[in-house]
Amino acid sequence: MAKPLSLQSILEAHQTWAAGQGGTRAVLIGHDLRGADLRGADLTGAELVNAEIWRTNLKGVTISPEGLHRILNCRQPKK
C-alpha cells in the first residue's frame, strides 16, 4: 500500500502544476488543514471543498474568490 503524500509534497506538486510545468493539481477535499502553515502558498485552482481550516495560517495565500467560497461551503452572490 502506498504511503499517503505529505501536505508539503502535495503543495509543491501543486505549485509546479499552477506554473504550467507539470506537477499535479492539489485535491484536498475535506482535508484537515487545522493548524497548517500555508503562508504564501499559491492555491489557485486547488480543490478545497469542505477543507477544515481552523487556525490555519493563510497569510499571503493566493486563492480565487471561487476557491475561498468552496472552502467555506457557501454560495457566491449573484452578479
The CATH number assigned to the domain holding 43 equals 2.160.20.80
Beta bridge partners of 47: 27
Digit-by-digit pLDDT tens for the chain (79 residues) are: 667 789 999 999 999 999 999 999 999 998 999 999 999 999 999 998 888 888 999 999 999 888 888 777 776 666 6
Domain hosting residue 49, numbered range: 26-79
Q: Are 33 and 56 in contact (CB under 8 A)?
A: yes
Task: Tell me what pLDDT residue 75 has.
Answer: 66
Residue 69 within any structural domain of the chain: yes
Residue 18 lies in a domain: no
Model-level pTM? 0.79
Instruction: Count CB-CB contacts under 10 A for residue 29.
Output: 10
- Let me know if residue 11 belongs to a domain: no
Q: What distance in Å separates the CA atoms of residue 55 and residue 52, rounded to the nearest whole number?
A: 9
The residue assigned the cell 449573484 is 78
- Give the integer Cα–Cα distance in Å for 50 and 32: 9
- Our count of domains for the chain comes to 1
* Res 9: pLDDT: 94
Spatial contact of 18 and 44, defined as CB atoms under 8 Å apart = yes
